[in-house]
Structure 1
Amino acid sequence: MAPICCIIPEHVLQNIIEVGQAPQHVLDACQSTIDQTKELHNTRIEHKQSLLAEQERPTFEVTEAVRHLNRTVYDAQHTSMRDPPRNKIMIEEGGALIPKEQDPSYDANECYIGFQKTYDFYLNFFNRDSIDGRGIGLDGFVHYSKGYQNAFWDGRQMIFGDGDGVLFNGFTDELDVIGHELTHGVVEYTSPLDYSFQSGALNESLADVFGIMIKQWGNDPANPQTAEQSDWLIGEGIWGKGVNGRALRDMKAPGTAYNDRRVGSDRQPGHWKNFQKLPLSEDKGGVHINSGIPNHAFYLASTLIGGYSWQTAGPIWYKALTCGKLRQNASFKEFAELTILNAGDHEDKIREAWKQVGYPFGEGRDEL
């Protein structure tokens, strides 16, 4: 049973409210976003229960996937309904991008393009036909609610708010954000990790891992970035003008992505010794915070091996996710050992990457 997985953690929005340094309409938008997301939580729970009852757990694909790209981008028309209306299609599969006068924000075009790049990434490099491995359509809704400060995957579709234009820009122009959220769907259809404590942090980390690889390849497929060339930033460009932040998260240097008087500072640790033992009521036990540890392990693994991450460390992480051995409440240690088991010729470097973030992660902390 998992909540909606949002790109902006609730604790960030809550901190903005508590600090109280932003304009009042921004503070109101943050509170409204928190309240609406809590209401939407039940939709995801219902879908998760039906999904678990119906789906078969596929293992690492061995047959050739067939291309079934099917995208539809809708205008949510600023509704805050749990199921936005589908009566205003902005772009559907095969359609042309829409002109600026129809959507000055370019959100619909960016969503449509981001869906294709994410789909193509999974198909080309992991032989995966959409998020479920069976060609499920990709539906996106832009212009959700008013001043909604987030983007999320709800188990069926992607929802994008517009941001407030002060602290948060829009959410469709960051390819890694789209890749991150759709990867929550991949996790759901393969090894649906509990969205709390260590398993929840692994869920968030896997979304960041595939999000950054999609960014490294997809921002310029003709000239993709190697692990050494990448900036390893998640959500670069999310912050509004004047916010002291490079991104939402930094996989190379967790805890350094932002530090602003109106927003607060990045709380991610990059090593087990700084693991934050948090109650379930705070960030679901630290799912967005402690994910910095496995995030940094993937950065280290990719740079130790070198080259393109989706050809080196990426397939190892993907096999660990899809091998059928990842428990729903898996710990960091369990996931690390699955990557080591699936590392092949790179076993020593994968083990070293995890050791540099604290593996084997001590005793008696698996429940955190």
Structure 2
Amino acid sequence: MTRNCRLNCVIPPHLLDKLLRSEDSDVHQVALDTLLTTARLRGERTVRASFAGAAAHGNGRRTIFDCQNGRLLSSAVVARPEDGPAATDQSVNRAFDGLGATYEFYRAALARDSIDDRGMRLDGYVHFSTKFNNAFWDGQQMVFGDGDGKIFTDFTGSLDVIAHELTHGVTENTAALEYHHQPGALNESVSDVFGSLVKQWALKQSAEEADWLIGSEVFTPGIDADALRSMAAPGHAYDNDLFGRDPQPDHMSKYVTLPDTEQGDHGGVHINSGIPNKAFYLTAMGIGGFAWEAPGLIWYESLKASTIDTQFQDFADTTYQKAGGLYGDGSAEQLAVLAAWQGVGIQISGVPAGVARSRTLAAGRYGVAGRDNGSLAALAKQVEALTAQVAGLARK
């Protein structure tokens, strides 16, 4: 059964709150309608979750429904089944392809059978409500708004947004990270990580080629914003009069403390996710190549090993341990993980700061991504010496 089910929306509440304060009456009204509809849906989701049975299985088969601008999912009509032809409605086709790309990524890259790893069917609903400025996963299906056409566009146009939302389902069925404070920020970060990886996998982009942006397609051309979030540069996705400056931190020294309320984004889950996002980006760039391979596998195995109340420190330690288990203690992959978390102000437990700095310097000096035989030999000797130092410190 799906655990910790909740309504996960892609647009952070602090952005909708900015729109709610807009002097433009149309922008204000659309933001108000979106917030009220989301609140109603959240209540319905809570009721449904109390008696929901096991998720429907069906080898990841997709069905896209058309809400026809209505708000009742039960009244939506089938627009494209798994075996049906392409629709004339491109929103339907984009949703269909996005669900399929996410399913195929998890199957091919991580040997996971759909959201619940048991072949859960994937249902998508397009044209939900009128000018609805959001998209969400509610524990059972993916729902897309069309956007208002002034600030936001059709949410089916962003593959990483689709994969981000579906990954909330993966998290529900693995660690079930509670949606508040650091566990909630990790929940959001994991969705950003795999949302970006699905896009990179579909485009066959290396870590160096990827844009590392989340939701770069959701804004209309008239909005001065790169995306909802930047994993490479948290805090720099946008800076404009409408939304202000992107509030995401990229280091623990900038961690934002907010109340655990709807208005406080449950302790800043969409904001503080910038810190683990940056750690993954640094890990991927440190290792090089395709980010869905070693970095993605390390993060996926760490997610499965996490629990509902896992904190940033816990997750960082787990990624370091998993990197060692998968690729060897002192491996280039493990060094990249160590350097990445150190880069965002989190020191791996049990690794003395001096040794961590030496290992980080070794990783940078010899090039984790572009290592050759000579570099490997030198790195191996240095790691061996450092390991002996750690063992000596442990004995003392």
Report TM bin, short chain: 0.7 to 0.9
Question: Which of the residues 147, 151, 170 maps onto 2:154?
Answer: 170
Contact 2:320 2:348 survives alignment (8 Å): no
* Distance in 2 separating the partners of 1:202 and 1:41: 21
Matches within 5 A, 1:26-45: 26-45=27-46
Contact 1:272 1:361 survives alignment (8 Å): no
Higher relative contact order (CA 8 A, sep 6+): 1
The aligned amino acid for 1:286 is: G
CA pair 112-269 structure 1, distance change in 2 beyond 3 A: same
2:340 is the counterpart of 1:353 = yes
User: Percent identity over the alignment?
Assistant: 42
Contact 1:153 1:185 survives alignment (8 Å): yes
The aligned amino acid for 1:231 is: D
* Distance in 2 separating the partners of 1:54 and 1:75: 24
Contact 2:252 2:345 survives alignment (8 Å): yes
Contact 1:183 1:211 survives alignment (8 Å): yes
C-alpha deviation, 1:264, in angstroms: 2.3
Aligned to 1:334: 314
Question: Which of the residues 242, 257, 264 maps onto 2:222?
Answer: 242
2:250 is the counterpart of 1:261 = no
* Distance in 1 separating the partners of 2:6 and 2:246: 22
Contact 2:116 2:170 survives alignment (8 Å): yes
The aligned amino acid for 2:290 is: Y
Question: Which of the residues 267, 270, 273 maps onto 1:288?
Answer: 270
2:317 is the counterpart of 1:310 = no
Q: Deviations over 1:273-332 (max 9, x none)?
A: 000000012111100000000000000000000000111110000001113xx1201110
C-alpha deviation, 1:2, in angstroms: 5.5
C-alpha deviation, 1:67, in angstroms: 9.3
Runs of at least 5 residues in structure 2 that lack an aligned partner in the other structure: 325-330, 350-396
Q: CA RMSD in A?
A: 1.9
Contact 1:270 1:296 survives alignment (8 Å): yes
TM-score by length of 1: 0.87
* Distance in 2 separating the partners of 1:47 and 1:263: 34
- Which of the pair has more CA radius of gyration? 2
Select the structure that is richer in helix.
2
The count of aligned residue pairs is 336
2:254 is the counterpart of 1:274 = yes
* Distance in 2 separating the partners of 1:73 and 1:202: 29
Aligned to 1:320: 302
CA pair 120-94 structure 1, distance change in 2 beyond 3 A: same
C-alpha deviation, 1:69, in angstroms: 3.1
Contact 1:67 1:123 survives alignment (8 Å): no
Aligned to 1:58: none
What SS class does the counterpart of residue 203 from structure 1 fall into?
A: helix
* Distance in 1 separating the partners of 2:347 and 2:48: 35
C-alpha deviation, 1:217, in angstroms: 1.1
What SS class does the counterpart of residue 327 from structure 1 fall into?
A: coil
Matches within 5 A, 1:141-180: 141-180=125-164
Aligned to 2:86: 97
* Distance in 1 separating the partners of 2:50 and 2:304: 20
TM-score by length of 2: 0.81
C-alpha deviation, 1:200, in angstroms: 0.4
* Distance in 2 separating the partners of 1:42 and 1:315: 35
The aligned amino acid for 2:9 is: C
What SS class does the counterpart of residue 342 from structure 1 fall into?
A: helix
CA pair 285-330 structure 1, distance change in 2 beyond 3 A: same
* Distance in 2 separating the partners of 1:338 and 1:186: 18
